[in-house]
């Protein structure tokens, strides 16, 4: 009877921060980006979701607040607006998926099939794990600025 609440995963009240040396830290929220940038002079904070979507280092505003359960990265100021390589993205994804020593158990004996697409002449497929496309999908977002009209 009393086991129900212990089976429900609780939301994290902390944000994850990957510093420039690759160390993963848990940061208690709410906290402003400026507070973390004061701890690490010469560095900016970039949300991992923005980095993955735009493939560029986009600095967070100093008054921006870190959200619980999200992953953020510290980059040197010199890397702002620079492109991120695929190898860097792979390392970041590996750090994001790290579960702080927790073990995940999956049922045994379930068969997982990987569906392959048509492929091209070189024998390469454009599908990945479980038939999902490996394309670099980015949603188009216009860069809009306010136009001030003088009267």
1-48 residue pLDDT tens:
555 555 556 666 888 988 888 888 898 888 999 998 999 899 999 998
User: 76 φ, ψ to 5°?
Assistant: -65, 150
In a domain, 28, yes or no: yes
Give pLDDT, residue 35. Answer: 92
Give pLDDT, residue 85. Answer: 83
Helix (H, G, I), strand (E, B) or coil at 102: coil
In a domain, 150, yes or no: no
Give pLDDT, residue 20. Answer: 80
Question: Bigger pLDDT: 147 or 92?
Answer: 147
In a domain, 151, yes or no: no
- 80: CATH: 3.10.20.30
Give pLDDT, residue 92. Answer: 75
35-87 residue pLDDT tens:
989 998 999 999 988 888 888 888 999 899 999 989 899 989 998 888 888 88
In a domain, 134, yes or no: no
In a domain, 76, yes or no: yes
In a domain, 3, yes or no: no
Query: Containing domain of residue 86, as a range?
Result: 10-100
Segment among 67-71, 107-111, 139-143, 146-150 with least mean pLDDT: 107-111
Q: Which two tokens stand for residue 38?
A: 């004061």
Q: What is the C-alpha separation between 131 and 151, in angstroms, rounded?
A: 57
In a domain, 118, yes or no: no
105-118 residue pLDDT tens:
444 444 444 444 44
Question: Bigger pLDDT: 129 or 64?
Answer: 64
93-108 residue pLDDT tens:
777 666 544 444 444 4
Q: How many domains does the chain have?
A: 1
Report CA-CA distances (Å) from 64 to 44, 45, 59, 102.
12, 10, 10, 30
């Amino acid at each position: 009877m009393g086991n129900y609440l212990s089976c429900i995963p609780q939301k994290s009240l902390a944000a994850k921060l990957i510093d420039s040396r690759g160390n993963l830290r848990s940061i208690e929220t709410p906290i402003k980006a400026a507070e973390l940038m004061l701890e690490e002079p010469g560095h900016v904070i970039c949300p991992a979701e923005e980095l993955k979507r735009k493939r560029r280092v986009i600095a967070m505003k100093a008054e921006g607040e870190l959200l619980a359960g999200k992953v953020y990265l510290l980059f040197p100021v010199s890397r702002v607006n620079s492109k991120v390589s695929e190898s860097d993205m792979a390392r970041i994804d590996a750090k994001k998926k790290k579960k702080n020593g927790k073990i995940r158990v999956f049922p045994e004996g379930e068969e997982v099939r990987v569906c392959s697409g048509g492929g091209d002449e070189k024998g390469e497929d454009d599908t990945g794990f479980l038939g999902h496309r490996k394309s670099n999908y980015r949603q188009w977002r216009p860069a809009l600025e306010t136009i001030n009209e003088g009267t």
